[in-house]
Structure 1
Amino acid sequence: MIKKKEKTFVPNNMEIKWENLEPLFKELQNRPIDSFSDLEQWLRDRSELEATLEEDFAWRYIKMTCDTSNEELVKSFQYFATEIEPKIAPLQNELNKKLVESAFVNDLNHDKYFIYLRGVKKALALFREENIPLQTEIQIEQQKYQGITGAMSVTIDEQEYTLEQASNFLKDLDRSKREKAWKSITLRRLQDKEELDVLFNKLKSLRHQVALNADFKNFRDYMFEALGRFDYSVQDVYNFHHAVQQEIVPLLAEQAEDRKKALNLDVLKPWDTEVDTSGKPALKPFSNGEELINKSILCFDKLNPYLGERLSIMKENNLFDVESRKGKAPGGYNYPLAETGAPFIFMNSAGSFRDLTTMVHEGGHAVHTFLTADLELNDFKHCPSEVAELASMSMELISMDYWDEFFSDPAELKRAKQYQLKDVLKTLPWVAVVDKFQHWIYENPEHSSEERTIAWKRIFTEFGANFVDWSDHEDALANLWQKQLHIFEVPFYYIEYGIAQLGAIAVWKNYKENPEKGLQNYIEALKLGYTKSIKEIYKTAGIEFDFSAAYIRELAQFVITELKKLN
């Protein structure tokens, strides 16, 4: 069983309420720092307090997402968001000032503390007192998305399903069943279209005001700074959009033509994109959540015993909630527990192949959490998403050779690998669409819902619109963006998936060429946490931090070559 480390500054088992927290923040604020050793101890104590708060918030969030219908859990989350975070924010800013103004700050080892201090200085530059209540309101409003979508369900053949469960019907060989399921899911989403539009309009306005308060022209420019994008620019991202359109979309158009022929269809409809073109039933890698966890442990253990042991530890400590049910928030995540040094994996499995890839994806995040658990400061573990998603997306690929734990039939294993490699390429245009759409949203903050719909359809069409015929389903096409929770909850956290997908292909390429060295480089890169720049971490992994058209073409061709080997 996992045990938290003994604390030296924060009282063990302290109840997290403001009356208990304020004296600790004040002590840090008022403590004299008369030597370099005093500064290092001050940093360790501050880190311990931040880890305590992060883990408390983590559990409030986890419990709320596991049951969005439980008002007490929602109130517990909101208490932290409204009564603790707003009071902490100005004090954290004062502690940042105390750090950078310390007479001993320049004595901190440059290699060890450079990334951390760079982040502190950026936080100081962005802090505005008037943004605290706005950010609190945003936090509360964002959570409403989960409540709305978590309550969604459909009835098919007199049985109720969550949308995740109902999506399994989209893999049915009977086209009429696929169509029926797709229309049921779509109609259910459209029922809440207006409510989600109103919610997003409010979020958009609040975010724009945060940006204006911090002296930025728009929220996009503010978020590039807030997310610490030191290693690439807005123009680099635009170049990524263009490169994906140029290099990947034509490959997917060819695959769509092949799909149409294999299914003997004149046109592909939205309900024709998930069914297996082999004419075989959908892959069934596991039958329930328990089996998914157990098989994942065996898969990771074959890859490397240390990795399998991490998932076993999580299972022993009840750090999984994997099965879909009504009232549960949508999506999946790995939430690091800052004090415990382990994570919690949340997902909505419904027995599909995609659930397997979600599990190994979140398992990659989980391994990352364990590998960084002993880094000295809590902030050293706060990896940028371009690195965090490299951990998870690489695991999707390097674990494939051990998916025989899920598929004992070699033919089924081959199908699973084909599906995964095709999905790797499909990821890139969707990332580009979601990211480009968000650029448009926040560069045009006064837009109406109707103008947003037009922009979405235009951008989605530029990247192939899933290569299907949307005639008679314009409302569904216009509403697709609402299913992407990142747009509501974590704005601009999406391009990282595209960058990391390229990195993951490169990690997998290295692994294919030399499994031992490729895996070791991957692990060594993850161990760094955020003590080095993104480019240095990618270099440690043995790959390039590059998303140029030439690099995308090179990696895409490698994937296509590997796909052909599976035919």
Structure 2
Amino acid sequence: MELTAKQRTFLPEDFKVEDWESLKPYFEKLLNTEISSEEELRKWFHQMSELESVVSEDMAWRYIKMTCDTTDQTLSDAFEYFVREIQPHIAPFSDKLNKKALASPYIDALRKQEGFDIMIREMEKDVKIFREENIPLDTEIQSLSQKFGAISGTMSVEHEGQELTLQQAAVKLQSTDRKLREQIYHKIASRRLEDKDKLDELFNQLIKLRTEVAQNAGFKNFRDYMFTAMGRFDYDPTDCFEFHHSVKSEVVPLLNDIAKERKEKLQLEALRPWDKAVDISGLEALTPFEGAKDLTDKTIECFSKLDPFLGDCLKKMDEIGHLDLESRRGKSPGGYNYPLSETGVPFIFMNATSTLRDMVTLLHEGGHAVHSFLMNDLELNDFRNTPSEVAELASMSMELITMDHWNIFFENEADLKRAKKEHLEQIIETLPWVATIDKFQHWIYENPEHTVEERTENWNKIFDDFSDTITDWSGLELNKSKMWQKQLHLYEVPFYYIEYGMAQLGAIAVWRNFKQDPKSGLQSYMNALKLGYTHSIPEIYEAANIKFDFSIDNIRTLMQFVKGELEKI
């Protein structure tokens, strides 16, 4: 794959972001530019887009390097410097630039052109919520939220004389040795609980600051502020509540069926949390790959089978070192695909060990990466900043439409069937967890003055609403009460989670189309991704030939399809 590097026309080619003083003249130049025609306004937007791309990519690399090694203080300091010494100066200029553009007599002419209407709508929203007094608060919030990764990144357990990250230890929860599973479960849970008070206090601080930001901007609570800040023009909290209700009605019963079958097949008197990952036929855990190189090579082959372009995307990333896949101590938890606006080649970070879940994670992040490549030709940086409901559709659909080629990872037919079954069951398990985390967030920010005890009480109530009734938690109540603390999104990206559920429903619909007609289904999926954020979310879903719909009827139809596919395996 040949990528033509974006040529700078506004900033010097050798310019690097070092401090605010070196950046400031370019923001001032934009602010002082005379705009006397529609063509000049369009050119001005191109210049602003270039500046945004350079700045966002610089911040991206600081974040990537910090998460790849949380033990290197210089990397943390470089990211912290950007957050504290550069970003706060950019915010007021961004507000002034937005106001300048919106005040232009030529803005309405541009608004009629594809993509610009969506971008201008975002700018109007940003102007509405901007408050100068929130800049230092946002800086403090961003610094605090990064502490979650630092705390989690140092968590490890000892097993048989070996130090394991929690991700590495969790692999042993798939062992057929029940005593080992229980032992590992308690080690992981105990390690997490060591920091429970620290994580509670961190969360308390974040809630307080976030609530202050919302109130400064004239919102009743942080939830309402975030729905505006995240540009949720196409749905509101009542749609989230409908999603919760539909999942409880249509998905939780399937979750119960899975747990009941698990208990019976494993011949257990009580199904315990450490029994949830082991194969129900008593087989050892699936190992779809051995090491990062094997995972990379097999994923590239899998993508290429779908379409050569998709494989080329990952090949390019691999060639230039934009993949950091293996779990190691000192690495932040989780996984992400970070778009790099100027380079045009994103970066994938994850914590792979050897599991099916790790394989699916790379397929997922690979879907995000493909999305980045497909948007490269869009005119402005803003057109490539897709909302999560669209971004996660790209990734979650990729998990499913690649399933016809999973024989690349599993040569044995029985293993292949196991992998597909486990993944589809994982989808059924994911939707209730998404509803749990989302409903919990609504309660947290509707009741910001709550105590830790009230938070625990409501977490348990919400958790029980979306859990199976088969698993026995007796004696493990404290572990259960603090399970939410492992969810990175609550600390780092509040309210960014229900998108996974919405996109999961969309992905099932994409997969159903693909199963009916692979060529047409794949083309519709890629056509939707190429749109970036130049259309509304429902319109992008429509381009993929699916619906943006959280009703009981739609979720029932989709879950019956998943159930049918499970029965075919």
TM-score normalized by the length of structure 1: 0.99
SS at match of 2:289: coil
Are 2:31 and 2:100, in contact at CA under 8 Å, matched by a contact in 1? yes
C-alpha contact (below 8 Å) 1:314/1:320 kept by paired residues: yes
Alpha-carbon offset, residue 531 of structure 1: 0.1
Separation of aligned partners in 2, 1:235 and 1:19? 45
Give, in whole Å, the separation in 2 of the partners of 1:41 and 1:74: 36
Give the aligned partner of residue 302 of structure 2: 299
Q: Shift of residue 325 of structure 1?
A: 0.4
The answer to whether structure 1 residue 369 and structure 2 residue 372 are counterparts is yes
Q: Shift of the alpha carbon at 1:13?
A: 2.3
- Shift of residue 465 of structure 1? 5.6
Per-residue CA distance 1:474-533 (angstroms, 9 max, x = gap): 110011000000000000000000000000000000000000000000000000000000
Give the C-alpha shift of residue 168 in structure 1. Answer: 0.6
User: What amino acid does structure 2 have at the position aligned with 1:114?
Assistant: D
Q: Deviations over 1:95-154 (max 9, x none)?
A: 000000001111115241111100000000000000000000001000000000000000
Contact 1:116–1:379 (8 Å) recurs in 2: yes
Aligned to 1:287: 290
Query: Is the contact made by 2:252 and 2:468 (CA closer than 8 Å) also made in structure 1?
Result: no
For each residue in 1:41-72, what CA deviation from the matched residue of structure 2 results, as whole angstroms up to 9, or x when unmatched?
A: 10000000000001000000000000011100
Is 1:14 matched up with 2:41? Answer: no
Q: What is the alpha-carbon distance in structure 2 between the residues aligned to residue 279 and residue 426 of structure 1?
A: 20
Q: How many residues align?
A: 566
Q: CA deviation at 1:12?
A: 1.4
Amino acid at match of 1:464: S
TM-superposed CA distance for 1:450, in Å, is 1.1
Give the residue type in structure 2 aligned to 1:447: H
Q: Does 1:95 align with 2:97?
A: yes
The counterpart of 2:205, out of the listed 199, 202, 205, is 202
Aligned to 1:105: 107
Q: CA deviation at 1:255?
A: 1.2
- Deviating above 6 A after TM superposition, structure 1's stretches of 4 or more consecutive aligned residues are none
Q: Which 5+ residue runs of structure 2 have no aligned equivalent?
A: none
Gaps of 5+ in 1: none
Aligned to 2:5: 4
The equivalent of 1:34 in structure 2 is 36
Aligned twin of 2:355: 352
2:338 aligned with 1:320: no
Paired AA for residue 521 in structure 1 = S
| Contact kept? 1:172, 1:281, Cα under 8 Å | yes
On the 8 A contact 1:333/1:362 being kept in 2, the answer is yes
1:49 corresponds to which of 43, 51, 55: 51
Residue in 2 that maps onto 1:398:
401
**Counterpart among 41, 58, 67 of residue 69 in structure 2:** 67
Query: Is the contact between residue 256 and residue 468 of structure 2 (CA under 8 Å) also seen in structure 1?
Result: no
Q: Are 2:324 and 2:349, in contact at CA under 8 Å, matched by a contact in 1?
A: yes
Give how far 1:4 is off: 3.1
Contact 1:2 1:317 in 2 (8 A): no
Counterpart CA distance in 2 for 1:546 and 1:110 is 27
Cα distance in 1, alignment partners of residues 296 and 223 from structure 2? 39
Instruction: Give the letter aligned to residue 455 of structure 1.
Output: N
Query: Which residue among 251, 256, 261 is the counterpart of 2:259?
Result: 256
Q: Return the alpha-carbon distance in structure 2 between the equivalents of residues 75 and 83 of structure 1.
A: 11
Correspondence 1:130 to 2:133:
yes
Deviation at 1:306, TM superposition (A): 0.4
Deviations 1:320-359 (A, max 9, x none): 0000001000000000000011110000001111000000
Question: Match for residue 60 of structure 2?
Answer: 58
Matches within 5 A, 1:504-523: 504-523=507-526
CA positional deviation for 1:6: 1.7
Q: Deviations over 1:14-37 (max 9, x none)?
A: 121211110000000001001111
1:448, CA displacement in angstroms?
A: 1.0
Counterparts of 1:345 and 1:245, CA distance in 2? 33
- Can you list the C-alpha shifts for 1:190-222, whole angstroms capped at 9, x where unaligned? 001011111110001000000000001100000
| Alignment partner of 1:458 is 2:461 | yes
Aligned-pair identity in percent equals 55
Quick one: distance in 1 between partners of 2:480 and 2:5?
48
In the alignment, structure 1 residue 547 sits paired with structure 2 residue 556: no
Report what 1:83 is aligned to: 85
User: Where does 1:116-515 land on structure 2 (aligned, <5 Å)?
Assistant: 116-464=119-467, 467-515=470-518
Q: AA paired with 1:523?
A: M
Alpha-carbon contact 1:3-1:340 (below 8 Å) kept: no
